[in-house]
Amino acid sequence: MGEATYEYRGLRKEIKPAKGKLGVLLPGMGAVSSTFIAGVYLINKGLAEPYGSVTQLSRIRLGKRTNASYPLVKDFVPLADLKDIAFGGWDIYDENCYQAALTCEVIDKKDLASVQRELEAIKPWPAVFENEFVRNISGPNRKKYKNKMEAAELIMKDIETFKREQGLDRMAMCWCGSTEIYQDVRNHEAFQTIEGLEKAMKDNLAIIPPSMLYAYAAIRMGVAYANGSPNLSGEVPALADLAVKNRVPIAGKDFKTGQTLMKTIVAPGLKARMLGLKGWFSCNILGNRDGQVLDDPDSFRSKEVTKSSVLESILQNDLYPGLYGDYYHKVRIEYYPPRGDAKEGWDNIDIVGWLGQPMQLKINFLCRDSILAAPVVLDLILFLDLAQRAGMHGIQEWLSFYFKEPICRPDLKPENDLFVQDQKLRNTLRIIMGEEVIDHSGLDYYDKGA
């Protein structure tokens, strides 16, 4: 595809074409990563369909309903072709991607057979890992370093080697590693400026988690970065500022996939119809390695915070104290090994209707964790690469659609309503390509002057 241009608020930019190879860097090569990589190879061979992926399957309306056109998103914006992607990543386990896919038992062995050779060729590089941040697992494939700056430099070396060996044109990184423990340290002075962070890395400051070192390495090298888990990583002010300076797009955090996806679909509907809420109890059982890590209360706390925050911003408790000022919201995740990756989520929702009458809604979602997450990783990588070629850098709030706790400018509130997020994403794509934003009011059809 040739060069595209866009104009917004007097800003006219060129979108560089997606030529050459795109390198995908994945810290953490467990269930989500192996399902994502295997899926891309299966799709490329015409053996599977990219269900769940907006970039591959969704169409976008352009123009008025009376004269609408609906191109596929991937034909509308210049995205990288799936055949031009190369994969690399890190893990504490030294099993190759094929073995990792067998271990997590998401895709059947017989389906993996046709991409076995490609998956076996992907072997994780030794990880920067610290057990203080992820307690319930351990593995041998780890780097040795004297301090956290040296650890980040080793990651950068891996990235350079990957780029050279694969002949890559561009790269994007998505953290698919385990959920690190919760720390309320966003405002710590070490995270406010890049100078402060670099000094703290040299001083080996204990609260700097490995995920932040991967984020630092990526942003320092001009590589786009997304955080798929809830822990604090690329969004601290020091790294968000560095991303703007180095013209790197960043996004996060915590993939929105199962129960929270449903919550952000149902809650906007209840609110739109002004139905009140008394309580929302959410419980999950899952038995994969992610569940094992989340069995540690401090890692679970990271998840609890991102999962809990969504209702508040959708229901706007402050504007509707009568309807949403006093509901009870509880989220539980229980590790239950027999289920493996086949998570089950139960929701009990106590709602209030006309004259204060109580009603209940029950949701039982029998889902597949990594099957829901893999297309999210694909879309994020492709859209971050697009953003970087379009000269969009820093926090990419238009990608909120994919996250439980979307990062945004500190003075703004995150947007969690899936339908608003969908509009944000689609209108951003329209703006990028110089198309009219669609407001769905429909008033223009009745305007006699038009």
Gap between the Cα atoms of 376 and 355, Å rounded: 41
Tell which one of 98, 129, 327, 398 touches ligand NAD (CB under 6 A): 129
Q: Determine, following the binding rule CB under 6 A, whether residue 122 of this chain makes contact with ligand NAD.
A: no
Helix extents (H) in 246-345? 259-272, 289-294, 297-315, 321-324
Q: Determine, following the binding rule CB under 6 A, whether residue 403 of this chain makes contact with ligand NAD.
A: no
Which residue stretch of 73-81, 89-97, 160-168, 387-395 sits at the interface with ligand NAD (rule: CB under 6 A)? 89-97
Gap between the Cα atoms of 45 and 23, Å rounded: 19
Which residue stretch of 16-24, 249-257, 273-281, 425-433 sits at the interface with ligand NAD (rule: CB under 6 A)? 249-257
Q: Determine, following the binding rule CB under 6 A, whether residue 118 of this chain makes contact with ligand NAD.
A: no
Tell which one of 78, 88, 252, 258 touches ligand NAD (CB under 6 A): 258
Preceding peptide of 253 cis, ω within 30°: yes
Gap between the Cα atoms of 119 and 98, Å rounded: 5
Answer whether 78's CB lies under 8 Å from 382's CB: no
Tell which one of 176, 190, 212, 331 touches ligand NAD (CB under 6 A): 176
Largest interatomic CA distance in the chain: 73
Gap between the Cα atoms of 264 and 260, Å rounded: 6
Q: Determine, following the binding rule CB under 6 A, whether residue 156 of this chain makes contact with ligand NAD.
A: no
Footprint of ligand NAD on 18-37 (CB under 6 A) = 27-28, 30-32
Q: Determine, following the binding rule CB under 6 A, whether residue 177 of this chain makes contact with ligand NAD.
A: yes
Gap between the Cα atoms of 313 and 316, Å rounded: 5
Residue type, 402: Y
Instruction: Give whichever of 38 and 60 is closer to ligand NAD, judged by the CB atom.
Output: 38
Number of chain positions touching ligand NAD (CB under 6 A): 35
Tell which one of 22, 104, 431, 432 touches ligand NAD (CB under 6 A): 104
Which residue stretch of 36-44, 170-178, 353-361, 407-415 sits at the interface with ligand NAD (rule: CB under 6 A)? 170-178
Footprint of ligand NAD on 332-371 (CB under 6 A) = 369-370
Category of 60 on φ-ψ map: left (φ > 0), alpha (ψ -120 to 50) or beta = beta
Tokens matching residue 93:
């386990």
Question: What is the rounded (10 degree) CA torsion for 168, 171, 174, 180?
Answer: 90
Q: Determine, following the binding rule CB under 6 A, whether residue 93 of this chain makes contact with ligand NAD.
A: yes
Q: How far is the CB of 258 from ligand NAD (least distance, A)?
A: 6
Answer whether 151's CB lies under 8 Å from 128's CB: yes
Instruction: Give whichever of 289 and 389 is closer to ligand NAD, judged by the CB atom.
Output: 289
Site string for ligand NAD, 282-321 (x = CB under 6 A): ------xxx--x----------------------------
- Angle of CA points 333, 335, 338, to nearest 5°: 130
Q: How far is the CB of 311 from ligand NAD (least distance, A)?
A: 17
Instruction: Give whichever of 60 and 127 is closer to ligand NAD, judged by the CB atom.
Output: 127
Q: Give 187: exposed, middle or buried? Use CB within 10 Å, 0-12, 13-18, 19+.
A: exposed
E strands within 367-450?
Answer: 394-395
Residue type, 401: F
Instruction: Give whichever of 48 and 137 is closer to ligand NAD, judged by the CB atom.
Output: 137
Gap between the Cα atoms of 293 and 435, Å rounded: 45
| Residue sitting closest to ligand NAD (CB) | 30
Which residue stretch of 134-142, 269-277, 318-326, 424-432 sits at the interface with ligand NAD (rule: CB under 6 A)? 134-142
Instruction: Give whichever of 128 and 224 is closer to ligand NAD, judged by the CB atom.
Output: 128
Task: Write the DSSP assignment of 415-434 as a string of letters.
Answer: P--HHHHHHHHHHHHHHHTT
The contact set with ligand NAD (CB under 6 A) reads 27-28, 30-32, 90-93, 104, 127-129, 134, 137, 139, 176-179, 210, 228-229, 254-255, 257-258, 288-290, 293, 369-370, 372-373
